[in-house]
Structure 1
Amino acid sequence: MTTGEAVTRESPIGTINTTPLIDVMLVLLIMFVITIPVATNSIQVDLPSGITDHPVQPLQNTVSLDADGTIRWNGDRVDKAELAGLLHGTTRMPTEPELRFRPDANTGYARTAEVLETIKASGVTNFGFVDNERFRTFEQ
């Protein structure tokens, strides 16, 4: 090496040139847009225009427990086996009705837990507790 020569070293570039990739993606995008058929068919759908006078009530069933532990299905007295059969029947409906559980405040915990276990074992998925507002305050 002489003193007058400039030393130039080319180091490898550690980045990828993305310009060709972007070009290919744009070409593919244009090809897809051109080949997609234009939606020329339309379907008329009659939508409701406003609020109806008669709101639709969803299907509901109520399981209640009296203070003495009596199980009631929509007001009718049933035993545990009948309750299990009724619950299993509702799970086979096309639209599962809402199951509302309303225990009395004086019902024993063991009886309430027993009925809840029957409900759980039946496979009911649309379930809720109702009238819990009455337990907001306690009488002294």
Structure 2
Amino acid sequence: MARPIPFAETHQPMVEMNTTPLIDVMLVLLIMMILTVPVVTHKVAMDLPGDARRSAVPPPVHRLDIAASGALSWDGAAISAAALPARLAALRADAAGPVLHIRPDGEAPYGLVDETLATVKRARIEKIGLVDNARFATGG
């Protein structure tokens, strides 16, 4: 003859909701928010020029290239990051009102591009253009 199981007779099923999976999901969502919010809100504020009258003579254009290796070049000549503020100060002092075209390579480190844009902003350069890094001249 089989003996009755005492556990089944004395214990009732749980009626409380198991909140452990809910807490796990909420913690994962919280961590995802903590990781993504700083990336989304990071900006480099730039004061862009307003609507200015166009002159008959186009202003001179200088080009600042940022290579994938992190090297900087000014109008095709290599310069160091330490020499950039002096070049920008000379550009700002030029009475002809030159324009600065910044052309970062698509593989350039984001931090370097961000630092360069911040340096340009600190130099108070107002005529800035960002040039696309597509290869129009080579067709590819």
Q: Which residue identity does 1:74 align to in structure 2?
A: D
Question: Runs of at least 4 residues of structure 1 off by over 2 A?
Answer: 55-58
C-alpha distance after superposition, 1:8-61 (max 9, x if no partner)? xxxxxxxxxxxxxxxxxxxxxxxxxxxxxxxxxxxxxxxxxxxxxxx9553010
Q: Considering Cα pairs closer than 8 Å and 6+ residues apart, tell me whether 1 or 2 has the greater RCO.
A: 2
| Residue in 2 that maps onto 1:108 | 109
Q: Which residue identity does 1:105 align to in structure 2?
A: G
Q: Which residue identity does 2:112 align to in structure 1?
A: R
SS where residue 80 of structure 1 aligns? coil
Matched, 1:59 2:77: no
TM-score normalised over the length of structure 1? 0.53
State the 1:103 CA deviation. Answer: 0.3
Pair member with larger Rg = 1
Gaps of 5+ in 2: 1-55, 136-140
C-alpha RMSD of matched pairs (Å): 1.9
TM-score normalised over the length of structure 2? 0.53
C-alpha distance after superposition, 1:63-104 (max 9, x if no partner)? 000100001101111111211101101111112200000000
Count, aligned residues: 80
Taking the aligned partners of 1:57 and 1:72, their CA distance within structure 2 comes to 23
State the 1:127 CA deviation. Answer: 0.4
What is the percentage of aligned positions where both structures have the same residue?
A: 29
